[in-house]
Amino acid sequence: MKHLAILGSTGSIGTQTLNVVRRHPDLFEVEALVAGSNTDLLIAQAREFNPNVVVISDRSRYKTVNDALANTDIKVFAGEEAACQVVEMDSVDLVVAAIVGFAGLRSTYRAVKAGKNVALANKETMVVAGKLVTDEALKNKVALLPVDSEHSAIFQTLQGEYINKIDKILLTASGGPLFGKSREEIADVSLDTVLRHPNWKMGRKVTIDSASLMNKGLEVIEAKWLFSVEASQIEVLVHPQSIVHSMVQFEDGSIKAQLGTPTMETPIQYALSYPKRVESHLPRFSFLEHPQLTFHKPDTDTFRCLPLAYEAIRQGGNMPCVMNAANEVAVQRFIDGKMPFLAIADFVGEAMAKAHFIASPSFDDLLLTDQSTREKLENSK
């Protein structure tokens, strides 16, 4: 029995994690649930799974949650520090880090420092603080178990291959709803169109990042740290069918791939049950139903966020942190109708060009970089 702390329990990854728990109550027990502001769903989850602790990050909603759970034995807390303390609890075996964006960094980092194994869905943690997190994980003998389908695929293909040298990682991308479109065709693309991902059901921020290829850029940086390779060893391939989740080529030229239907529950379940595989109710993939699998070079002239991510990791230091902060601000502006889709890359690139560079940032340096970047951008026109 593994006792879980689920950070971001009301989001896409969090709710799918709880689907896995429902199917395997003999293997997993929920010790703590942490949510941002969705009080109704958090309360419903708490009543169903009866955790020891729940945390609502939005302090203004504490009373609503506390009153709703007053007739239970569940302890209710609020705020970011409470979320960080939850991951340090002795009763927690595995932390599911599923808070979206920079907001998930502090609690994930605290979990690693506390020696907790982490099922990692928050890619921004590795983008912003990859070196610090991997150093702490090594020091504290912590397993970073990837939840992203692409990184889970790489992780799975590397089982039994740790003595063998990686030549190249082939990181697949669906291309999102705008694949094959020219700059002219998407100059005035609407938010609704961008959010219509053909294969995956994800939150708004991740779906927009998928359409801009920034999500793939973030995954390139995450892969560099998770698998100890250089960014130059990571090649992105657009694979519209989302069946081959990623591949690894070894120094002898052999390529291993992990395939499956496009659902996040499979990599989530693998991260939770690792090193064992457990039964899944999900439909089995059929090659006969997918007779053609295609791969394409990404269009980096139209979708400029991907080369920006390669540039950020080439510079290193706090530059990926700057890039991530600028992207989060830009995506929110697009959601709010204050910025066209294609301007996201220009906005991020300009922020990177004007940033104060720190070659070897501390954790506090990264927090300040994120804060100062957002303040500068939010005060700009």
Pair (155, 257) in one structural domain: yes
Give yes or no: residues 164 and 292 share one domain. yes
Q: Are residues 180 and 296 in the same domain?
A: yes
Assigned token pair, 331: 């995506």
Residue ending a domain, choose from 97, 124, 142: 142
Buried b (16+ CB within 10 A) or exposed e, 311-341: bbbebbbbbbbbbbbbbbbbbbbbeeeebeb
Are 369 and 322 contacting, i.e. CB atoms less than 8 angstroms apart?
Answer: yes
Does residue 77 sit in the same domain as residue 136? Answer: yes
**Domain end position, chosen among 94, 122, 142:** 142
192 and 231 in a single domain? The answer is: yes
| Distance in angstroms (rounded) separating the CA atoms of residues 335 and 190 | 9
* Domain annotation covers residue 325: yes
Given the DSSP bridges, would you call strands 2-7 and 28-35 parallel, antiparallel or unpaired?
A: parallel
| DSSP labels, 63-84 | HHHHHHTTTSS-EEEESHHHHH
Token pair recorded at residue 46: 């708490």
Q: Identify whether 170 is part of a domain.
A: yes
Going by C-alpha positions, the residue among 141, 320, 126, 308 that lies closest to residue 228 is 126
* Domain assignment present for 23: yes
Res 381: pLDDT: 61
Q: E-assigned strands of the chain?
A: 2-7, 28-35, 53-56, 75-78, 94-97, 117-120, 144-146, 166-173, 234-238, 244-250, 255-259
Contact 36, 109 (CB under 8 A): no
Determine the structural domain holding residue 132 and report its residue range.
Answer: 2-142
Asked if 55 and 34 count as a contact pair (C-beta separation under 8 A), the reply is: yes
Residue 276 lies in a domain: no
Pair 157, 295 in one domain: yes
The answer to whether residue 267 is domain-embedded is no
Query: What SS3 state is found at 173?
Result: strand
Q: Give pLDDT, residue 88.
A: 97
Kind of pairing between the strands at 117-120 and 255-259: unpaired
Same domain as 162, residue 137: no
Q: 223 near 151, Cβ under 8 Å?
A: yes
| Rg, C-alpha atoms of the chain | 20
Strand partners, 7: 34, 97
| H or E element in which residue 352 lies | helix 343-354
* 221 shares its domain with 324: no
CATH number of the domain bearing residue 111:
3.40.50.720
In a domain, 87, yes or no: yes
Give the pLDDT of residue 293.
96
State how far the Cα of 53 lies from the Cα of 83, in Å rounded to an integer: 10
What is the rounded distance in angstroms from the CA atom of residue 368 to the CA atom of residue 352? 15
Q: Are residues 226 and 209 in the same domain?
A: yes
For each of the chain's 381 residues, which pLDDT tens digit applies?
A: 999 999 999 999 999 999 999 999 999 999 999 999 999 999 999 999 999 999 999 999 999 999 999 999 999 999 999 999 999 999 999 999 999 888 899 999 999 999 999 999 999 999 999 999 999 999 999 999 999 999 999 999 999 998 999 999 999 999 989 999 999 999 999 999 999 988 777 789 999 999 999 999 999 999 999 999 999 999 999 999 999 999 999 999 999 999 999 999 999 999 999 999 999 988 899 999 999 999 999 999 999 999 999 999 999 999 999 999 999 999 999 999 999 999 999 999 999 999 999 999 999 999 999 999 999 998 776
Give domain status of residue 280, yes or no: no
Q: Give the CATH number of the domain where residue 328 resides.
A: 1.10.1740.10
Q: Which residues contact 302 (CB under 8 A, 6 or more apart)?
A: 181, 182, 183, 186
Same domain, 292 and 193: yes
Q: Is residue 269 part of a domain?
A: no
pLDDT score recorded for residue 60: 97
Answer yes or no: do 156 and 291 share one domain.
yes
| Number of domains the chain contains | 3
